[in-house]
Chain A
């Protein structure tokens, strides 16, 4: 298994390099630093000097890949590519266009994101799996039928409406929790509660239905028949056998998501005014601060690859038949 993991980690490196090169090409070739400067400084009355000054302040005035004017190793290191890209690999994200340290911002904003994402994730998983188990237990009855109808209806509603409706109902009409904002410490639950509830409700339809299908498929297998044949109760079959075996396909989809919980949800955070990484990214996109966007893309891909590796490990834990070689 160790050899397998080492190979997977080594395989991650070319992927990350690919991501890095791709975003670099996307942001610095298609959209040159001159365009960025023009955009940041405003379209009108921009002098070439102002653009040069803007570029020099942020280190965009260097050559792209090879600095012919420099000496020794500086030929490669004193370039836009090295300064803006290579440092990402040791998680030095540099500074944003408005001069702030991106690494520090990420460290600060990671916690609010986690405070929303982690409870939503855990509560959601618990709700969806138990809901799916109930539907599977009462399969082919009225309860199952209407449960599935409800699921399909719920997954046909745009996520935006869950947020808008929830905010309007819970905060504006009932005044239970504040509409938006965030505070650290003991008070934070009041701000976290509504986004978590909406997050869980928004994913319920699709996930519960998917998990129900997984459980039902598992129920058609031979070992379930054997278990029934030896006289186990339906509940024991369901919880003892089906749940355990159904967890494997569920884990596949779920473990990948764990590391990316840090990033948070773009839409949710911007709606609720939570100072997390999601809203940070969306602000950066809207103000076209590409260094932040690139950092977040890099972080996102890193966490995704981490998630893939974690999924493989989780397989071996959930299913002893799986051996990683």
Chain B
């Protein structure tokens, strides 16, 4: 094989999560009563637009979760192939030009000359201080000062053209697929979509996709020859860093919930349903954990895990694996400190449900406690679990940034939004200021968290009508609802 697959711990868990999501979707599709709230989500324009953006982030994150080590040309003594010590991901391969083309130090977005002056020795032996050409950006231009703008605008136009082509192709495909699904003609489907009468807000979703393509394609075209977001202190492309950060954020946001769930579900349901001394003990445990200031507990646990990892270097084959285990530990620690909130919610709801008629009926029929909890309580608590999962996601992405800034987040060698901000935060004080690293981290983080927030809102509106946030309803309908009663 030309490569050796590497399964990092977080990769495996990400796959598990992906598979269980697919299983969940398949099982929901078969049951009408479970499907109903999801239909509501699918009709919410904000939620679905956010989903389009989220799926793009997810795609990048998944590509970055397929790791391998490339085979080297040399062989070892026994004739077996040697593999590179560096673990790469699919995303790294796709973004090889971005990853490999490092400059000496800072360069501005789309620049062709370096950001700092250097002493250059000319052909005739004289030395002078000037801004040297960058090693990898705009090297195809013979006279960059004159050609740069026309080259950039040509590339942007090319990108826009590509985006338009892709968008039209994709819209056609979508329309054909919907038309086939509904047994309608292609023409009527397109008219419905344009008028926004298709139930699922295809029009809004396609517009979102179009806007995304309009940004992504020109950036793609430009990144072939320029550093679109500039380079950082060690000359690494900032666009590449932001792409790599996406996976870290997604992993923290999703895997933490995976760790929270079993704790919160088991303990919450048991406390609420069994009551008595079980309730007392569980309440005591979560009050105690809750009363410890969260950041301190996380910081302390991360430090301890770091000491443990320093003492056992033999467990990790590569630096990437080490950083990955630290990421997983961070998820575990965040999970352990944050299951208490969900647990308390579930306990309260279980207390209420245990008095309901169907549980009484189950008791009368002689159903065991265990079975009542699993078959009767659990399914009726799932909406709370789901709401809290989607609501917590964005908070966890933000928490990662703060923790990494404080120095107790992910491994410093791992690229994440937090480490990016931490590395860049003193650059604003430079003269002239280096702003692009922060700006790039800001834009990507904002997009990710905003779309997660919007999607979470529409999920909550669909599953918990009482807590209506009130703005994912179409505007006119909201007016009707909110008018003072006669």
Contact = CB atoms under 8 A, between A and B. Distances in A.
A152 B450 contact: yes
A216 B482 CA distance: 9
A158 interface: yes
A156 B407 contact: no
Contact of A156 (B291, B394, B429, B438): B394
Interface in A92-113: none
B296 A213 contact: no
B234 interface: no
Contact of A35 (B297, B307, B442): B307
A213 B467 contact: yes
Contacts of B417: 158
Contact of B478 (A140, A234, A296): A140
Interface string B413-441: 00001000100010011000100001000
Which of the four size classes fits the interface of chain A?
A: 35 or more
Contacts of A297: 292-293, 296-297, 300
Contact of A152 (B290, B429, B453): B453
B408 A285 contact: yes
B445 A158 contact: yes
Interface in B429-486: 429, 433, 438, 442, 445-446, 449-450, 453-454, 457, 466-471, 475, 478-479, 481-485
A266 B406 contact: yes
Contacts of B433: 168
Interface stretch (B78-86, B175-183, B369-377, B397-405): B397-405
A53 interface: no
Interface in A1-23: 14-15, 18-19, 22-23
A323 interface: no
B296 A225 contact: no
A18 B293 CA distance: 14
B157 to A, nearest CB: 30
A160 B292 contact: no
Contact of B308 (A30, A148, A168, A217): A30
Contacts of B300: 23, 26-27, 285, 290, 293, 297
A39 B457 CA distance: 47
Given A153-B450, A216-B470, A158 B402 contact: yes
Q: Is the interface of B mostly helix, strand, loop or mixed?
A: helix
Nearest to B457: A152
B296 A161 contact: no
Given A213-B467, A263-B293, A285-B408, 19 more contacts: A27-B300, A27-B304, A30-B304, A152-B457, A157-B442, A157-B449, A159-B402, A160-B402, A161-B442, A216-B470, A267-B402, A267-B405, A270-B406, A282-B406, A293-B296, A297-B292, A300-B293, A300-B296, A304-B291
- Enumerate the 8 nearest inter-chain pairs by beta-carbon distance, A residue then B residue, closest first: A140-B482, A301-B291, A300-B293, A156-B450, A18-B288, A156-B449, A304-B291, A285-B299
22 contacts: A14-B284, A19-B288, A26-B300, A26-B301, A27-B300, A140-B482, A149-B471, A152-B454, A155-B453, A156-B450, A158-B421, A158-B445, A160-B421, A217-B466, A267-B405, A281-B296, A285-B300, A286-B407, A297-B292, A297-B297, A300-B292, A300-B296
